[in-house]
Amino acid sequence: MESLILKYKCLGITDVLHYEKFNLISISHHSTKIEGSTLTELETQILLDNGLTPKGKPINDTLMVTDHFKALHFIIDKAKNQVSITTDLVKEINSYVMKSTGGIYNTILREVDASKGMFRKGNVTAGVSYFPNYDKVERLTNELTKFINAKMSDNLTIDEKLYLSFDAHFNLVSIHPFYDGNGRTSRLLMNYIQAFYDLPLAIVNSEDKQEYIQALIDTRKEDNIQIFRDFMRNQYERYLLNEIKKFEDGFSSNSNKGFSFLF
């Protein structure tokens, strides 16, 4: 993996004009599509690049995408400034994710505004998964952020940095601290750690949604984090290899074949 990342960086892929912007657009597309957005990648690109709302698509999907894109820029800025991961930061990430689509939940204990990054005050399930009781959420999230910060103070290898980002992703989504946006927030926390270490940002491909969910379920069932690590490592490796191939194929085409006008 280290040699693959080194090759990715040495090729100067990220120096290509607008590469970072369109890479972030792709991350937002796949992360929101996993959560049900109906926008295609082209519609997402036009929306985020030109501000044009796709016709015939639910406004909620458009808001989900634009909020995620803003959240992604937020975590990258925080990572570049080496801001420590805290529970408040996790809440703030979720508030960006849910800013325009978060609803109000009336519970016995209090009213919870999901657009404000507030922890849930009720118990939740998702498919076959049951998550920790709401009264454990704050303690578990505090423990997770303290653990991440302690690990980040160590001198980690490339693999250890990646595994830390994958583990943070898995553990936060398994705590499920919010009523909504847990998956997007957890993937953004993963991206935050990667950006902190100046690593390429991982994308969970939306076409692999079923395998992604199954990896989460199997990891909990078997109590074996390596299952999720292996899934994410495979996603990460495929992404890097694909980007390298696209870059090398494009360079080869431009260098050897020239350009043919289609009219």
- 57 lies in some domain: yes
The parent domain of residue 86 ranges over: 2-244
Contact present, 147 and 155 (Cβ < 8 Å): no
Dist. CA 83–CA 193, nearest whole Å: 10
Dist. CA 107–CA 9, nearest whole Å: 49
DSSP letters along 7-41, please? HHHHTTGGGSTTHHHHHHHHHHHHHHHHTT----H
In the structure encoding, which two tokens stand for residue 209, read together? 């949604």
pLDDT in tens, 152-198: 999 999 999 999 999 999 999 999 999 999 999 999 999 999 999 99
Contact present, 155 and 201 (Cβ < 8 Å): no
Contact present, 122 and 111 (Cβ < 8 Å): no
Q: How many domains does the chain have?
A: 1
- 152 lies in some domain: yes
Region of 70 on the Ramachandran plot (φ > 0 left; ψ -120 to 50 alpha; else beta): alpha
Average pLDDT over residues 230-258: 81
CATH number of the domain that 161 lies in?
1.10.3290.10
Q: Taking 90 as the threshold, does the pLDDT of residue 248 lie above it?
A: no
DSSP letters along 176-193, please? --SSS-HHHHHHHHHHHH
The residue type found at 236 is Y
- 251 lies in some domain: no
How far, in Å, are 118, 248, 259 from residue 256 at the CA level?
Answer: 56, 12, 9
Q: Is the pTM of this model over 0.85?
A: yes
The total of other beta-carbon atoms located within 10 Å of residue 135's CB is 10
- 42 lies in some domain: yes
- 122 lies in some domain: yes
- 202 lies in some domain: yes
Q: Please, which pLDDT band fits residue 57 given cuts at 50, 70 and 90?
A: very high
Q: What is the mean pLDDT of the chain?
A: 93
pLDDT in tens, 92-124: 999 999 999 999 999 998 999 999 999 999 999
Q: Which residues on neighbouring strands pair with residue 125, listed in sequence order?
A: 130
- 253 lies in some domain: no
- 259 lies in some domain: no
Dist. CA 227–CA 237, nearest whole Å: 16
Dist. CA 119–CA 213, nearest whole Å: 23
